[in-house]
């Protein structure tokens, strides 16, 4: 028996109406999902004021936000001079940062790594945090008591944050006991007189770190990047146009992103850029990463140039103080 034509027409209308409602609901959910993702992406980047250009937001700055890409990098072996510096879970970079073992008891890192809140305004009047230090690891999960090295004291550079957040961004960490040297724990040399960035193999260096990856969290595994040294005037000019970024001076140098748009990011600060002298083949730490907020292909990583700070580093490491210097001066003056 054939169905009634009028009934058949009604069923078709009902089915079409139901399908239309389902399509409308699906489109609404899809639009809502896209809106949430866009909002999350925008907040994740715009919330950092250093990404805002001077003046109004332009099309180029919006393009920068859209193309922003977190650090890539390759999985690193145990890098014997790389130290994990840990202060707290509550900070943006997860509390993890880098450092460089430069002797059996001393680690060089970025001064900002020793504060939970890192701006000059927030730091003034506050003492640095005594961090936990881990050596000889390539996985964050290995940061346990067996790899921890107790800290005796920390020493900030006397000119730390003189004028801006990144001025003289260096600190030395003294360990309570000398480390036992091995193939997993070995210092990296500092530059010697005459060693210059202009004379490095391939004009590039290696940086290692636990910095942010695509999951917007610190990396679970130690990674490394081979980064080319950047033209100093270009790097300086780039950051002169961006608020809340370093004033790149002669005590700093920069690296730029790789051809795959990989770069340093939150949590990589304090790591040493290791370079190779083209004449001697010597490997040494040329700089300590300070500005680790590059993260996208338009920005540069900014480092403290270690050769500019050798006098201070050696003075602190040999236990010299202003009082002992004054005492020597008085005695020598009396004898002369």
Q: State residue 94's pLDDT score.
A: 61
Q: Which two tokens stand for residue 4?
A: 């009634």
HSE, CB side, 13 Å, CA atoms: give it for residue 148. Answer: 11
Q: Which two tokens stand for residue 323?
A: 């009082």
The Cα–Cα gap between 103 and 81 comes to: 9
pLDDT above 80 (res 33): no
The Cα–Cα gap between 201 and 173 comes to: 30
Q: Which of 114-123, 175-184, 307-316 has the lowest mean pLDDT?
A: 114-123
Terminal-to-terminal C-alpha distance of the chain: 127
Structural domain contains residue 220: yes
Number of domains within the chain: 1
CATH of the domain at 259: 2.40.10.10
Average pLDDT, the chain: 79
Structural domain contains residue 141: yes
pLDDT digit string (tens) for 197-208?
989 999 999 999
Structural domain contains residue 13: no
Threshold 0.85, pTM exceeds: no
Structural domain contains residue 193: yes
pLDDT over 70 for what percent of the chain? 74
Q: SS3 breakdown of the chain: % helix, strand, coil, rounded to 5?
A: 30, 25, 45
Domain span including residue 109? 74-317
pLDDT, average across residues 105-111: 98
Name the nearest CA neighbour of 86 among 270, 263, 305: 270
Q: State residue 297's pLDDT score.
A: 55
């Amino acid at each position: 028996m054939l169905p009634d034509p009028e009934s058949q027409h009604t069923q078709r209308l009902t089915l079409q109406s139901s399908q239309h409602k389902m399509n409308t609901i699906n489109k609404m959910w899809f639009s809502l999902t896209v809106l949430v993702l866009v909002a999350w992406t925008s907040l994740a980047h715009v919330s950092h004021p250093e990404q805002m250009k001077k003046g109004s937001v332009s099309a180029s700055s919006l393009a920068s936000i859209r193309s922003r890409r977190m650090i890539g990098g390759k999985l690193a072996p145990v890098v014997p001079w790389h130290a994990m510096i840990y202060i707290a879970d509550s900070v943006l970079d997860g509390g993890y940062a880098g450092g460089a073992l430069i002797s059996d008891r001393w680690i060089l890192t970025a001064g900002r790594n020793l504060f939970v809140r890192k701006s000059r305004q927030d730091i003034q009047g506050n003492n640095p945090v005594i961090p936990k230090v881990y050596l000889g690891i390539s996985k964050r999960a290995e940061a346990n008591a067996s790899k921890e090295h107790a800290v005796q004291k920390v020493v900030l550079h006397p000119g730390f944050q003189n004028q801006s957040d990144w001025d003289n961004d260096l600190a030395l960490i003294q360990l309570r006991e000398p480390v036992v040297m091995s193939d997993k724990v070995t210092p990296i040399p500092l530059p010697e007189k005459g060693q210059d960035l202009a004379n490095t193999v391939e004009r590039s260096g290696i940086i290692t770190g636990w910095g942010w990856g695509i999951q917007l969290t610190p990396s679970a595994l130690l990674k490394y990047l081979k980064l080319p040294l950047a033209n100093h005037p270009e790097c300086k000019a780039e950051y002169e146009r961006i608020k809340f970024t370093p004033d790149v001076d002669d005590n700093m140098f920069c690296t730029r992103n790789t051809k795959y748009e990989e770069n340093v990011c939150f949590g990589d600060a304090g790591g040493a850029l290791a370079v190779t002298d083209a004449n001697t083949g010597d490997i040494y730490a040329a700089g300590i990463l300070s500005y680790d907020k590059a993260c996208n292909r338009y920005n540069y990583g900014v480092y403290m140039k270690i050769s500019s700070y050798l006098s201070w580093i050696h003075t602190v490491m040999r236990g010299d103080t202003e009082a002992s210097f004054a005492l020597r001066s008085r005695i020598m003056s009396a004898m002369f």
